[in-house]
Structure 1
């Protein structure tokens, strides 16, 4: 075979390989897609995953199957996706606890910055809720209470290193108090024990809002500096606690090196789902705001959050158990 023919064959093979990769991305998906929720059923992450899965599956033309894999503050579920093939058939809902707050408290088996970012999904403040029997009717009374009894208050979290944990530690740092941390395996179990009166307060995601409306819990404040649309009269924690302004968010990531066309396809379809009034209403009933953010700005947002929480962890000298 002449050298010129060999070159043409090799060039043709290279061209075919280059065309084949986008073709596979364009045909995605050809089988069900797994959406791993890295927390127990019953919390905000789980609720958002289930609201999103059916309409997203309809747009993709394949079912999106929700799978709960709880543990290690959400790290177990994220690690399962981090170690999956980079083909877009496994993705996970992430939050500050397993992407920005948690990883600066304890090493995770994955590097958050190497994951493939798809889209932010929701943003909302954390809700500072307390058991109904707590001897504080509002934020000012609660701050006065923990200053009088700095070691007596028990604050729940969704796990060591989660955003709900670091929010409580940030309050300790800002007020010079020593509330006792009581970690749980997710938001659902923490809320159950709070309602039962086994702990005193919890910086919950917005899944606590229906329980506040039903009179099972009392809402003392929201973590963001701006008013919360679902309860605009509720004060900000920052009204009584200096330099306190944080928010909760959920987003979707997949395995490192997931092809860009697949990530863009998923991000576009997630944005379409979140633009639907009925989806926004469902999220709103839980206290969440739809907040789609495409892959590149979402990745930049997470990098910035990592630096913010790293500074808090170092200042508070927080260590993993």
Structure 2
């Protein structure tokens, strides 16, 4: 298969590994824990990568959806797994840089092994097609005038979709109370059912926008988004409100370095495959592997930024 320029650029980041050190690993199937229900963005990325990585290491990789508590239940299950190279997970800001700052979690996010960032995307501020929110200005006007009438949904307490709404409230001086779901997929389902109106969703909402089933009002990134350049950023109307979505590959603390290096390398190779790039971009994601210390440092910076937002808004979760 002919490699694209993006594929070649991604492969350039793959480290050269001492493969003989991994002779005893893996000798049985492994698993990737997705801490949200099937159908969401983390689930999509996990399933897209499980097959090519499994083929590369010579073992089946099984996806396990362990949802609940804004992703904390699944990440806790991973943190308690043996650090033997057979349990991995898909992480996000909700489970690493946000959720643990809002409430006590049964796991320490910094005790996990952060193997590699996988993909990035903006969050998408979407509304049902039968709502009065035809654009971002209409939504912000309603939030200012009748905040209690705006039916926001979120993917769970402490998730980026929740804190994005809180950040908007903080900047606008409004108070809208979202309804929390066990992931983006059930939240979107309730928007179809007209039980909710607006959601700050991960990029899995993008195909639904393209199909005309949702309206895209704005994106959360600092710059306009290439797939929809006519859509404004939230920051254009509410300066200072910008944040990105990312998903990463993680493991329990203490996994041997040769294993994590191999998994980082194979995930980068999988992300460079043209068919994987095509599928990710169709869903609004951009492959963006960033391994090891560089990924961990990026997470620390993001956590510090969110800490300032939470402190300014005196935001806590019981």
Number of the residue aligned with 1:6: none
Number of the residue aligned with 2:262: 265
Q: Quick check: 1:211 aligned with 2:208?
A: yes
Instruction: Show CA shifts across 1:7-28 (max 9, x none).
Output: xxxxxxxxxxxxxxx9764431
Q: CA deviation at 1:319?
A: 1.6
Number of the residue aligned with 1:103: 100
- Return the alpha-carbon distance in structure 2 between the equivalents of residues 217 and 268 of structure 1: 37
SS of the equivalent of 1:34 reads strand
Instruction: After TM superposition, list the pairs within 5 Å mapping 1:100-179 onto structure 2.
Output: 100-179=97-176
Number of the residue aligned with 1:250: 247
Instruction: Show CA shifts across 1:34-60 (max 9, x none).
Output: 000010111111111111111111111
SS of the equivalent of 1:180 reads coil
- Return the alpha-carbon distance in structure 1 between the equivalents of residues 276 and 203 of structure 2: 16
Supply the RMSD in Å over aligned alpha carbons. Answer: 1.2
SS of the equivalent of 1:67 reads strand
Contact 1:26 1:261 (C-alpha < 8 Å) held by counterparts: no
- Return the alpha-carbon distance in structure 1 between the equivalents of residues 133 and 77 of structure 2: 42
SS of the equivalent of 2:178 reads strand
Instruction: After TM superposition, list the pairs within 5 Å mapping 1:50-69 onto structure 2.
Output: 50-69=47-66
Q: Quick check: 1:295 aligned with 2:292?
A: yes
Instruction: After TM superposition, list the pairs within 5 Å mapping 1:180-219 onto structure 2.
Output: 180-219=177-216
Q: Quick check: 1:225 aligned with 2:227?
A: no
Instruction: Show CA shifts across 1:190-229 (max 9, x none).
Output: 0100122111211000000111111111100000111212
State how many pairs are aligned: 300
Instruction: Show CA shifts across 1:46-86 (max 9, x none).
Output: 11111111111111110111010001110111111111111
- Return the alpha-carbon distance in structure 2 between the equivalents of residues 319 and 248 of structure 1: 22
Q: Quick check: 1:283 aligned with 2:280?
A: yes
Contact 2:21 2:258 (C-alpha < 8 Å) held by counterparts: no
The structure 1 residue matched to 2:236, chosen from 239, 242, 245, is 239
- Return the alpha-carbon distance in structure 2 between the equivalents of residues 302 and 76 of structure 1: 20
Q: Looking at CA atoms only, which structure, 1 or 2, has the larger radius of gyration?
A: 1
Contact 1:164 1:203 (C-alpha < 8 Å) held by counterparts: yes
- Return the alpha-carbon distance in structure 2 between the equivalents of residues 57 and 98 of structure 1: 25
- Return the alpha-carbon distance in structure 2 between the equivalents of residues 238 and 155 of structure 1: 19
Number of the residue aligned with 1:31: 28
Instruction: Show CA shifts across 1:253-294 (max 9, x none).
Output: 100111111110100000000111111100001100001111
Instruction: After TM superposition, list the pairs within 5 Å mapping 1:302-317 onto structure 2.
Output: 302-317=299-314
- In structure 2, runs of 5+ residues without a counterpart are 1-18
SS of the equivalent of 1:252 reads strand
- Return the alpha-carbon distance in structure 2 between the equivalents of residues 272 and 131 of structure 1: 37
Instruction: Show CA shifts across 1:140-165 (max 9, x none).
Output: 22211211112211211111001110
